[in-house]
Structure 1
Amino acid sequence: MTTALRIAQGGFGRLALLDMDTPLVSHAHSQCHVIFKASGADSAFYVSEERLPVTDRTAILVNAWEPHYFYSEPDFPRTVYLALYIEPRWLATLHDPLRLAAHPRFFPRPCVQITPRIRKLADDLIGDLMSPIPMKQERLEIALFDLMLAVSEQFSALESIQDLMRPEGLRLPDSRIQRALNHIGDHLGQALDADRLAASAHLSRAQFFVRFRRCTGMTPHVYVNTLRAETACRRLAQADDRTSLGRLAEDLGFPDQGHFTRFIRGQIGVTPGEYRRVVQVY
């Protein structure tokens, strides 16, 4: 069973130290996502169906809204991961060019050999997170920014902005798909099957799937699940939102708490109850 050692959440996004040995379904995040091995056995993540090694010398780089998943063989040795889910808007407030971290091709390669400096920055952050004394917000944000800046300068497309602006690198807008996206955001607590979504966009089911993937890079199912998971994480972290897990499940369109618990575990690795118990809000 996966255990959350630390979870921090704030305007920067969130980060987690996860002792993980259970699978994650194909999912995505609205943030840019970076995964480091913290300790334990070497392992692998899958990004766009490509199996990529997670070792002391590599990092997994996942663009915003890019589907990825984790599969662990039965009885395989455990691994602790440092997972960063960083808001591009937060990065941009500190260094304006990093607003491009929201671009679907910000990281050209999903797996990279990290430099000794990046390894040290990651290890320093891991050490601070494991301290029994919670990190001060300023220290945490400085450590996060230094690490993300180092990763971005070394491995992103920041130095080739023109390449990011090429038509093949952009997801083209479509007013009908935008209607469907608005419908999803407004109705997360209701059934959102493909037929309903296609109808909201005034498209046939087949046309809807083609256009949706062209505009978002993912299926409607993954997109809906992403919004539900991120809404759940946000509400679970709010000290003034002590809604029962059963009510939260209902608010997000699940038939019961059991379905909701299995969904969250498949998306982020831990149960809603453990997330609420462990998360440190900044």
Structure 2
Amino acid sequence: MSNALRLARGIFGRVALLDMDRPLVRHAHPHCHVLLKVEGADTQFSVGERIVPLTDDSAVLINAWEPHAYAHHDGQPATIILALYIEPSWLGAFRPNWKASGAPDFFAVPVGSATLRIRGLTRVLAEAMVHDPGNADEHERLLADLMIAVIERFAAWRDEPASLRLAASLVVDHRIRKAVAMMRDDPRAVNDMEGLARAVGLSRAHFFRLFEATLNVSPRVYLNVLRLERAVQAVAEGTESFAKVSESLGFSAPAHFSRFFHDHAGSSPTAFRTVAGLRRSDYETLR
């Protein structure tokens, strides 16, 4: 069963070392998202309308809010994947126009050929997370080196000072703004998309067309992103029971929440919480 082996969190976002042997549903993230193979079988992801390979020699590059899925096949061996979910504001501290990593066109293509440096930095970060799980400063330093190498390799950030599409996306129809605000205020209360459309004064069909044209994802995917990010925070911080987290996000039963979390995050909530709180002393005990 797929699970998280290690998790690093900070102002940079999060990095998950995932042991993957089952598919993930189509989903999205509000981050600059990069997937790198550490070891195991070559595999593949669905990004937008394309199936792209994840191998020793390739990196999968996913823009913020871009729908994607892990396209694992039955009987395919497991793959250990370093999954980077990086905050554009953190990248902007390196170069101001790297804040555009939150734009839908930051990576022009969803897959690229990884350099020997990127492959080496991937391995070094993965090993640091395994062998020194509590060393947050070292994880962030290694992640910075890796992301600089990735962006310089795969993003045409020198060509344009900022994304026009990102700037255009700041102008959003007032009805879509209202729908987004309702989702963000209380994801638990939004289950019926037809009711949400009526609440903002649109027919269901027009609401779906306008929402996706504006935000590049469907209303349901957007709602699931909000739920997942809140779930990740609640599970990683370890302050509430899974039943309480499930209830706060609008799931009818904890089992439904656990399945949702596994299908979107690639790990059970239990494994995710365990590795999120793992310290150096815990690792020594486990050995």
Q: Same fold (TM over 0.5)?
A: yes
Letter paired with 1:137:
A
Give the Å deviation of 1:235.
1.1
Instruction: Look up the match of 2:261.
Output: 264
Contact kept? 1:61, 1:111, Cα under 8 Å = yes
The residue that corresponds to 1:274 in the other structure is 271
**CA distance in 1: counterparts of 2:234 and 2:278, whole angstroms:** 11
Look up the SS of the partner of 2:145 in the other structure: helix
Q: CA deviation at 1:18?
A: 0.8
Partner SS state of residue 189, structure 2: coil
Gaps of 5+ in 1: none
Q: Distance in 2 between matches of 1:114 and 1:170?
A: 31
Q: Distance in 1 between matches of 2:232 and 2:49?
A: 26
The answer to whether the Cα contact below 8 Å between 1:15 and 1:84 also exists between their aligned partners in 2 is yes
Cα distance in 2 for residues equivalent to 1:136 and 1:94: 22
Change (3 A) 1:208 1:166: closer
Match of 1:78 in 2: 78
Q: Please report how far the alpha carbon of residue 118 of structure 1 lies from its aligned counterpart in structure 2 after TM superposition.
A: 1.3
Where does residue 231 of structure 2 map in the other structure?
Answer: 232
Partner of 1:208: 207
1:94 equivalent to 2:100? Answer no
Write the letter of the residue equivalent to 1:138: D
1:163 offset after TM fit, Å?
7.7
Question: Cα 1:61–1:72, aligned 2, differ >3 Å: closer, same or farther?
Answer: same
The letter of the residue matching 1:93 is A
Alignment partner, residue 254 of structure 1: 251
Say if 1:125 and 1:165 are closer, same or farther in 2 by CA, change over 3 A.
same
Q: Is the deviation greater in 79-88 or in 155-164?
A: 155-164
1:154 corresponds to: 153
CA change 1:183–1:256 in 2 (3 A) is same
TM-superposed deviation, 1:78: 1.1
Give the TM-score normalised by structure 2.
0.92
In the other structure, the counterpart of 1:188 is: 187
The Cα RMSD (Å) is: 1.8
Amino acid at match of 2:233: R
Go from structure 1 to structure 2 and tell me whether the alpha carbon gap of 1:161 and 1:280 turns closer, same or farther (over 3 Å shift).
farther
How far apart, CA to CA, are the structure 2 residues paired with 1:265 and 1:63?
A: 22
Partners of 1:135 and 1:173 in 2: how far apart?
41
1:106-125 → structure 2 map (5 Å cutoff): 106-125=106-125
Which residue in 1 is equivalent to 2:18? 18
**TM-aligned CA distance change 1:66 to 1:281, over 3 Å:** farther
C-alpha spacing 1:279/1:163, structure 2 compared with 1 (3 Å) = closer
Give the TM-score of the pair, scaled to structure 1: 0.93
Q: Per the alignment, in what secondary structure is the counterpart of residue 188 of structure 2?
A: coil
Secondary structure at 1:25's aligned position in 2?
A: coil
Q: How much has 1:179 moved relative to structure 2? A: 0.6
How far apart in 2 are the matches of 1:165 and 1:254?
38
What SS is found at the alignment partner of 1:158? coil
Question: Unaligned regions of 5+ residues in structure 2, if any?
Answer: 280-287
SS in 1 for 2:25: strand
Q: CA deviation at 1:164?
A: 2.8
Quote the residue 2:66 is aligned against: 66
What fraction of aligned residue pairs are identical, expressed as a percent?
40
Q: Distance in 1 between matches of 2:199 and 2:95?
A: 39
After TM superposition, which residue ranges in structure 1, 4 or more long, deviate above 4 angstroms?
none
CA distance in 1, matches of 2:17, 2:165: 36
Is the contact made by 1:20 and 1:79 (CA closer than 8 Å) also made in structure 2? Answer: yes
Whether 1:221 aligns to 2:220 is yes
**Partner Cα distance (1:74, 1:273) in 2:** 24
SS of equivalent residue, structure 1 residue 208: helix
Q: Distance in 1 between matches of 2:19 and 2:208?
A: 36
- How far is the alpha carbon of 1:226 from its aligned partner? 0.5
Q: Describe the superposition over 1:46-84 as per-residue Cα deviations: whole angstroms up to 9, x where unpaired.
A: 100311011000000000010000122111111110100
- CA distance in 2 between counterparts of 1:226 and 1:58 reads 26
